[in-house]
Structure formats: structure tokens, C-alpha cells
Amino acid sequence: MTTDSTADPSTATSTPAPDGPTGYEDRVLGCLLGTMAGDAYGVLFAAGDDPTAALHDPVAATVSDATQLTLYTVDGLVDALEWANDGVAADETACLWLAYLRWLDRQGEHLPAGAPAPPARWLDRQDDLLAVHDADPDTVRALLTGEMGTRARPLNQQAQGAGALMRSAPFGLVPRIPASMVERLTVDGAALTHGSPAARNTAALFSNIIRSLAIEGLGLQEAVGELRLEEHRLAPNPGLAHEGGVGAGASGGVGDDSPADGGTTAAGTFEAALQAALEGAAASASPRGQLAAALAAAAAAGRPDASPVVAASVAGAIIGALHGTSALPPAYLDAAGMPAVVRTMAHTLLAATTGS
């Protein structure tokens, strides 16, 4: 993977360059910190505690695998980009798989005998990256097989949950690559653990809107309009055809295919998050007010097919990609602990993609 659009003249104009390093870099940081803020908010909400505490004291905030796997997605992409920047072709999906295996090891799980044992990187050595409770079972189950899932040989073929969705924002943050490559990276990365086309394609819709906001600098309504077109293009794939469309509210969702057991789905969770982001954007003129309103709406959406924790983290990523760090409470911009880990990973991604 290369982020130099001049390497292939056919893609040189397919992806607009970021509108100056400050705007783009700030949106990358805002997206990743927004993911963490939403995740921490959702965790407190699900526990029955005051979720607004996550916005006031991020050092004490507890995050789930939504934040952790998002950071490991960043690390897998950075690994591939570092190889590419050294002139060595790397399999991006394999780099992501190795990153997720390292995450699994940090959870205290024993890697199967047939799985590779990737060497530790900076992220693995951070003490603030604690083992999480109730990690996504589909993700853990797939990784414990020791096999690398692919589109051709999918694992967890019926897995429609939000485990791949929640870690897919970073794909939309890589500049100077065409939208088709963002989609490929996202779907291939999702297929490592989630074999359902609905789960994989919903993850691609998420990275698509992040790209529209962070890379193209679109407004939220315009980005949602483009997302509707993308959804129609993906609709022939199983699990994404439906009536209503993205942002349609509780009666419509990206894929009306809830499991028979009534569990949460990537489609329902993404729909709840996107609707919450739209409601948040309409609720306040202040970016911070929009984030607070979006997180509250996402966590309390009440959809039986949506995870409140993941919905809040996805909504936070969307508002962060829209407004950058102006949407975040000031404490997130200089606090130690997990906020510092997130900021470091954001700057590591920027260094690998832009050299800044």
C-alpha cells in the first residue's frame, strides 16, 4: 500500500488531497479521540453510571475493545505503510491479522499452536491497554482458530455483529488512496473475523463516511448523501438491501437482517450511530455540544439490534472526523493515560501517511 497518489496517474485525481495539513491532521486526531470518548461514554451508560463523567475525566475512563481494536487497526495499517515506505510490498490484511493477534495476546488469551507469534510493537507495551471485559466473541473466536479469514475463505460466516464495524474508522483516515482501496482494505480487514457480507459491508459504509468527512472535508449532510449512494451500490450484496436508507431512523437500517436470537448487528448499530450523529449535529451549534448530544442519543437509542457501547463509539468517531479536536473536551487533548495512547497512535498514523 502506498499513499503517494502520483505513483499511479490513474488515481492521481480520484482522491482529493487533504485541505491543508492542519485541518486533516486535526480531523484524524478528533476521529480517534472521538472513538475513545464515545466508547467510554457507552461503557458507563451500559453499567448504569453517569456517562457524562467520561467527558470530564478521560484518565479515569474505562474503554472497551472498540477503542483498543481501533488502535490495533491503526497499528496494522502503520505496519504495512512502514514496509511500503521502505520500498517493500506488504500484505495489508496480513499486517492487520498480526495486529489483532497481538491484541488477543494482550487479553491474556493463548494463541493457538498454528498461529504466528508476531513481535511486540509500541502499542503492546502500554500499561494503560488493560484487558477488557466481554470482548467481542466473534472476534475472539475467529482469532483463536489461528487461521486468517478472507473473503474467499470466511470465518464466522453467520457473524453479523458489530465487532468489525467498531474497528474500521482508521481505514477512512488514510489519505491519497482511492475510495475503492479504502473499501477493499475495510472489507478484507473485516473478513478476518466476520464472514457475513452484512457485517463486512456495513464496516465499509463506516469507513466511507469517515473518509468523506476527514479526507474530503464534506459536511455531515453531504457525506450522508454520498453514503446513501454507496449503500445502493452495495445493496445487491446479501444483508444490505432494505427500504428506508441510512439515517432513516429506527424503522430502517443498513441491512434488515437481525439474527434469529435477537442479538445486536453491525447494521443496526451503525444505523443507530449515524442517526445519533445527525441528531447531535442538529442539536447544537457547538462542536462539543454536538458530540455530547450525539453520544447521549447513540447510547440511549434503545434499538434491540444495536450495541449502545459501539454505537456511541461510532457516533463519536463521526463527530470527531467532522469537527476535529474542537468537538472534544479539553482534557482529552493533554490528559495522560489512554488519551495519550490514542494521541500517540494518531500521530504515528500521520507520520506514516504524510511524514508529519
**Cα–Cα distance measured from residue 21 to residue 24, given in angstroms and rounded to the nearest whole number:** 5
- Which of 228, 262, 227, 256 shows the shortest CA–CA distance to 240? 256
State the pLDDT confidence band at 233, using cuts at 50, 70 and 90: confident
Q: What is the pLDDT of residue 235?
A: 59
**Averaged pLDDT for residues 39-44:** 98
- Is residue 272 scored above 50 in pLDDT? yes
Share of the chain above pLDDT 70, in %: 86
For the segment 274-325, what is each residue's pLDDT rounded down to a tens digit? 999 999 999 999 999 999 999 999 999 999 999 999 999 999 999 999 999 9
Q: Is the model's pLDDT at 249 over the cut of 80? A: no
Mean pLDDT of 53-81: 97
Using CA atoms, how far residue 219 sits from 2, 253, 320, in Å, is 27, 22, 12
Are 311 and 298 contacting, i.e. CB atoms less than 8 angstroms apart?
yes
- Structural domains of the chain sorted by starting position, each given as residue range(s) with its CATH number in brackets: 26-354 (1.10.4080.10)
Average pLDDT of the segment spanning 126-136? 93
pLDDT at 179 over 50: yes
Residue 3 confidence (pLDDT) = 62
Residue matched to cell numbers 480531523? 27
pLDDT at position 262, please?
A: 54
pLDDT of residue 89: 84
Contact 172, 182 (CB under 8 A): yes
User: Which pLDDT score, from 0 to 100, does residue 30 have?
Assistant: 98
CA contacts within 13 A on the Cβ side of 112: 11
| Number of residues written out for the chain | 356
Residue 46 in this model has a pLDDT that exceeds 50: yes
Please tell me the predicted confidence (pLDDT) of residue 184. Answer: 96
Average pLDDT, the chain: 87
Question: What value does the mean pLDDT take over residues 13-37?
Answer: 73
CB-based burial of residue 134 (10 Å sphere; 0-12 exposed, 13-18 middle, 19+ buried)?
A: exposed
Residue 5 has pLDDT above 70, yes or no: no
Least confident of 41-55, 108-122, 228-242: 228-242
Least confident of 33-42, 246-255, 305-314: 246-255
